């Protein structure tokens, strides 16, 4: 857990300043020369993440043990990328929900001009994707009710994620829910302006955004953890 003296409930202007300068000097020599600045900003982000975890834990059960453990490394893996810049120009982190009966994950990204709160299912395993599609094909109305609710549209606008160009194998291309059946990912995303991120309300808004994902997560959890008789699958 971060030192209580640097525990932060918001994002600081210095964090954006560091990321902007890093973007303009994305090389190891510059980074090594400014390692102390990086460590200071890293500590502030750890404090923010810890505060966000505390708020998130009020309305959900989270397996991630600390804000620090939620953070992704700033160092890029360039082995298979055409972009050989060594550092990310954002901070990000994710929180894992605890237990097999709490599906879905939470994510945040802090970057000048591209900050957002997100969540959902980034890479469903084939078995889970099959269960989701079968349920949608049987009756898409519960999912549509969630996606079309005023609260969902106001917060996330629409469901996002990669989609197939055609119908998935085994499903009718003319199915009335083909627009939903084509999804390979099921993601929710709410962007924030720099001004919103730097305001004193961002931590609370981030927590509210995570909380607003719950009806969607509850729907998906029911699909993924119950059998055809509506009984919880403990297998």
Number of neighbours of residue 232 by Cβ within 10 angstroms: 11
Residues 6+ apart with CB under 8 A from 21: 34
Which has the closest alpha carbon to 208: 112, 93, 117, 111?
117
Q: Is 106 helix (H, G, I), strand (E, B) or coil?
A: strand
**Backbone φ and ψ of 194, nearest 5°:** -60, -40
DSSP letter, residue 32: H
Digitized pLDDT (tens) for each residue of the chain, 235 residues in all = 444 444 567 899 999 999 999 999 999 999 999 999 999 999 999 999 999 999 999 999 999 999 999 999 999 988 888 889 999 999 999 999 998 889 999 999 999 999 999 999 999 999 999 999 999 999 999 999 999 999 999 999 999 999 999 999 999 999 999 999 999 999 999 999 999 999 989 999 999 999 999 999 999 999 999 755 554 555 4
Cα 188 from Cα 45, distance rounded (Å): 23
Handedness of CA 126, 131, 137, 141 (dihedral sign): negative
Domains of the chain: 13-225 (3.30.930)
């Amino acid at each position: 857990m971060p030192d209580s003296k640097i525990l932060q409930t918001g994002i600081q202007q210095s964090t954006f300043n560091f990321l902007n300068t890093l973007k303009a000097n994305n090389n190891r020599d510059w980074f090594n020369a400014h390692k102390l600045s990086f460590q200071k900003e890293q500590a502030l982000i750890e404090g923010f993440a810890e505060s966000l975890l505390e708020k998130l834990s009020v309305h959900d059960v989270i397996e991630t043990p600390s804000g620090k453990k939620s953070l992704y490394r700033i160092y890029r893996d360039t082995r298979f990328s055409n972009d050989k810049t060594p550092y990310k120009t954002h901070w990000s982190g994710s929180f894992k929900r605890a237990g097999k009966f709490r599906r879905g994950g939470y994510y945040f990204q802090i970057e000048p001009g591209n900050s957002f709160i997100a969540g959902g299912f980034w890479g469903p395993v084939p078995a889970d994707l099959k269960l989701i599609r079968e349920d949608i094909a049987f009756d898409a109305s519960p999912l549509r009710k969630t996606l079309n609710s005023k609260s969902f549209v106001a917060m996330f606008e629409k469901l996002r994620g990669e989609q197939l160009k055609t119908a998935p194998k085994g499903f009718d291309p003319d199915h009335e829910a083909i627009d939903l059946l084509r999804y390979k990912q099921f993601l929710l995303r709410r962007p924030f302006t720099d001004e919103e991120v730097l305001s004193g309300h961002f931590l609370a808004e981030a927590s509210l955004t995570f909380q607003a994902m719950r009806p969607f997560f509850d729907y998906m959890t029911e699909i993924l953890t119950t059998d055809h008789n509506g009984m919880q699958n403990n297998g």
